[in-house]
């Protein structure tokens, strides 16, 4: 059971990076931090904030999903929207994927 709980832990620096870009309310971010960074028990957190355990679990899951989405790319990369010919975009996206794979193969 502890191993499953540990799979939901997030390093504090990563948590802060994701928290800056989330639309969750401040209270939800605090709850997510207590569970994901500090490792507090969900039932205790739920009782402290007068929420159901299911609601606290939903907050945890929503934040953890955002963390996983943000972890798919190197931390210093930015998101952008561009307008270009399809062939050019295909070449660019191929290069992006090649660099993403290279980054994670060197940093894992």
Q: What is the pLDDT of residue 2?
A: 46
Examine the domain organization and report whether 54 and 105 are in the same domain: no
Per-residue pLDDT of 90-104, as tens digits, reads: 999 999 999 988 988
Does the structure show a pLDDT above 90 at 53?
yes
Structure-block tokens of residue 36? 């994901």
pTM score of the predicted model: 0.69
Within 8 A by CB and 6+ apart from 63, the residues are 18, 22, 24, 28, 29, 32, 36
Range of the domain at 105: 78-108
> Could you tell me the pLDDT band of residue 75, with boundaries at 50, 70 and 90?
confident
**Same structural domain, 15 and 55:** yes
Residues 7 and 50 in one domain: yes
pLDDT for 6:
54
Question: Are 62 and 87 within one domain?
Answer: no
Average pLDDT over residues 39-44: 96
56 and 93 both lie in a single domain: no
Q: Are residues 64 and 84 in the same domain?
A: no
């Amino acid at each position: 059971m502890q191993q499953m709980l540990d799979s939901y832990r997030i390093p504090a620096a990563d948590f802060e990076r994701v928290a800056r870009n989330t639309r969750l309310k401040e209270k939800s971010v605090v709850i997510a931090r207590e569970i994901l960074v500090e490792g507090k028990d969900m039932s205790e957190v739920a009782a402290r904030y007068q929420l159901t355990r299911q609601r606290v679990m939903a907050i945890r899951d929503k934040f953890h999903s955002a963390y996983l989405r943000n972890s798919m790319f190197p931390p210093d990369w930015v998101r952008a929207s561009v307008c270009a010919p399809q062939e050019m975009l295909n070449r660019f996206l191929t290069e992006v994927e090649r660099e993403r794979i290279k980054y994670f193969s060197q940093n894992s």
